[in-house]
Amino acid sequence: MAYELHYWPTIQGRGEFVRLALEAAGAPYVDVARGAEDAGQGLPALLRCMEDRTQTQPPFAPPFLKDGDVLVGQTALILQYLAPTLKLVARSERARVWTQQIQLTIADMVAEAHDTHHPVGSSLYYEDQRPEALRRAREFCATRLPKYLQWFEEILARNPAGPRHLVGGRLSYADLSLFQMIEGLRYAFPNAAQRALARTPAVVALHDRVAALPRVAAYLRSERRLPFNEQGIFRRYPELDVDPG
């Protein structure tokens, strides 16, 4: 039976990390909120699922995955849940824990990237927190972005199986998420990302290998891949792409 992914229909956002895993594995899934309302899908279906008071394990927020009668929320957990079935994680318990540790660190960086345009709070518009956003973005571009990317470069260099993957010698969901994180950083902070990525060649090479995976490449060319926009996590506000130099 096809997985049901529930996420906001107009943005890549956190749901994109799950979409990428499902697409890279060629797994059957329905992107529920992007379906037709007269087919029982669309945004109302997502909201119905969230507001279903008979649901004993209700997610706090999208994205969440419906797998039969199992409902799983929290992006990194959805990936951890799917990975063994999708063959996007190694078999050993130790490798699985390490993969999830990397995924949770990617999630931390994604949250910090989001907060550059919403440092005061998600319920306010960017336009209502621009001075705060500029200060936060300056800090992010100068300090946090390079620090995270250096860590990913370092763990690739230390991978005993070589720098072609984050964990061992095979593709994992963390590799896919790293690709998406780089895509987002290049969209939101073209200059700051370029400067930082110039010093992390192994990260860039991994990004490029993921982009070239046949299923991923086909997905990126398809209309299923939403473009980045200014409602998602990664937003291009040129004033926030700060040159710390």
Is residue 108 within the footprint of a copy of itself (CB under 8 A)?
A: yes
Which residues have C-beta within 8 Å of that of residue 238, sequence separation ≥ 6? none
Q: How many residues bind a copy of itself (CB under 8 A)?
A: 45
Q: How far apart are CA 109 and CA 114, in angstroms?
A: 9
The nearest distance, CB 41 to a copy of itself, in angstroms, is: 24
The footprint of a copy of itself on residues 151-170 (CB under 8 A) is 151, 154-155, 158-160
Is residue 121 within the footprint of a copy of itself (CB under 8 A)?
A: yes
Closest C-alpha to 43, from 9, 75, 12, 72 = 9
Q: How far apart are CA 4 and CA 28, in angstroms?
A: 9
Sign of the dihedral through C-alpha 185, 186, 188, 194: positive
Is residue 48 within the footprint of a copy of itself (CB under 8 A)?
A: no
Is residue 47 within the footprint of a copy of itself (CB under 8 A)?
A: no
Stretch binding a copy of itself (CB under 8 A), from 32-40, 43-51, 68-76, 203-211: 68-76
Q: How far apart are CA 240 and CA 217, in angstroms?
A: 29
65: enclosing H helix or E strand: strand 64-67
Contacts with a copy of itself, residue ranges (CB under 8 A): 53, 55-60, 70, 72-74, 76-77, 80-81, 94, 97-98, 100-101, 104-105, 108, 111, 115, 119-121, 123-124, 129, 132, 135-136, 139-140, 143-144, 148, 151, 154-155, 158-160
